[in-house]
Chain A
Amino acid sequence: MSHETINLTLKIWRQPNAETEGRFEEYQLEGVSTHASFLEMLDILNDELIEQGIEPVAFDHDCREGVCGMCGMMINGQPHGPDLETTTCQLHMRRFEHNDKITIEPWRATAFPIVKDLVVDRSAFDRIITAGGYVSVNTGNAPDANAIPIPRPDQQQAMDSAACIGCGACVAACKNASAMLFTSAKVSHLSSLPHGKSERSERVLKMVAQMDDEKFGSCTNTGECEAACPAGIKLEDIARMNREYLRASLCSSGQ
């Protein structure tokens, strides 16, 4: 931390498109401010690459304030880098040392095909949401906040589950590339509130079926997803989804 600027060796996965095989390339980047965010560091690298006539590194990003879930890459073997509950855009270069070597890879999962370099196609998540991650009860105009009484613990738990930003770090961290943490956060969020209760059986059955169709792996209860999640989603949500699934299978007419 003695340096205000640091020099880095970046080992980055380069892949022009889904069909072409990828490979690692190494780049030297000098004089990076420790106040820069990780994505700003990549912006600086890309400026240099463009000046040298090299194709810049493609990576996903949008809000750059940790809420949209677009950014996400494996940084030295950790989704979103080494910090707890932090997205890639919230990671800063002060977290690294002078002359560090940083390996940057895309999420690797059969269900998340690589689009280019560090960009993966996460539309499998969208299809899981489309399958049942919604509430179709017409709620009309904005109701009074107290019109439907919701016990404080239920509201808090639904809010905690709703914190999921759908970035895919859980899939990236899991040794089985399982999407259980993501799907369970959505199921937990919607099924804990009165508005979502009437569709809860259909929801969990359809979302799990879609999740399985997308070729994500199974859950082995290793806890890697929970540790890697930038939004603090807990394994309790997976257990809740397991219960919801069992209840829907045995105690509802859902097929």
Chain B
Amino acid sequence: MNWLIRALSSSIGKKFVMGITGLLLCGFLITHLAGNLLLYVGAEEYNHYAHALHEQKMLLAVAEVGLFVLFLAHVVLAVVTTRENKLARKQNYDVKETKQKAPLFAYFPHDVMWTSGVIVLGFVLLHLADFRLGLRNPGPEGEEPFDKAVRLLHDPITFGGYIAGVLVLGMHLSHGFSSAFQSLGLNHPKYNKFIQCAGTAFAIIIAVGFASFPIWAVMFQ
């Protein structure tokens, strides 16, 4: 087992786990978005899906533990590597410029991965408190999932936090998705462009897709 501990505690191993957990969490985002899109199909369909999902008690427990482990690994590694990275340069430059071509609006998401990650973590905690644990606005007994979603999204903090959270998540993904492939060693001119474009498209789809739900709930429900 020595080799495994050595590999996972190396700088490359840590980034490898960071990339794998990040991509698996991206997979969760796709299923979550697909499920939520049933809100637009109709209350009945959404409720049917939600009930069917909640009936799978064993499966759901396993999935929740799995997601928690993925999330925890991603966050712990972020804390560990960010700390190490700070220690690697104790004194900053007086002047620091870049030779990289400035993108549109000087958008450098990779410079703010830690900040965007912390904001996303805050949003996830708020989101869990609202929807999973029912801590902030507990609903009436036997409330249908569709009604619960619409009711919760009318709460101003939930509404604002949701939109801000998913937009920052999109920013996080716009670097994280393609960066994960590089960390896994997948970099070749024949598909680099594709990964870059797929990462940008994925970030936009996730951000716009999720941000549409609170806006829809408040405007049309």
Contacts and interface: CB of A to CB of B under 8 A. Distances in A.
> A and B bound?
yes
Interface of A: 11, 24, 74, 76-78, 82, 84, 103, 105, 108-111, 173, 175-178, 180, 205, 208-209, 211-212, 215-224, 227-228, 235-236, 238-246, 249, 254-255
Contacts of B184: 242, 246
Contact of A236 (B6, B99, B187): B187
Interface residues of B, number: 43
Interface of A is mostly: mixed
Given A208-B12, A228-B99, A235 B111 contact: no
A254 to B, nearest CB: 7
Contacts of B100: 223-224, 227
A220 B95 contact: no
Contacts of A177: 85, 88-89
B99 A84 contact: yes
A86 B189 CA distance: 25
Contacts, number: 140
26 contacts: A74-B96, A103-B95, A105-B93, A108-B91, A110-B90, A175-B85, A180-B11, A205-B6, A215-B87, A217-B88, A218-B81, A221-B110, A221-B179, A222-B110, A223-B110, A224-B98, A227-B99, A236-B187, A236-B189, A238-B187, A242-B16, A243-B185, A246-B16, A246-B185, A249-B13, A255-B2
**Most A Cβ at <10 Å: residue of B10, B93, B108, B184:** B93
A252 B132 CA distance: 45
Nearest to A103: B95
Contacts of B111: 175, 222
Given A82-B99, A105-B95, A177-B89, 14 more contacts: A24-B94, A76-B97, A84-B99, A217-B88, A218-B85, A221-B179, A222-B108, A227-B100, A239-B186, A242-B182, A242-B185, A249-B3, A254-B3, A255-B6
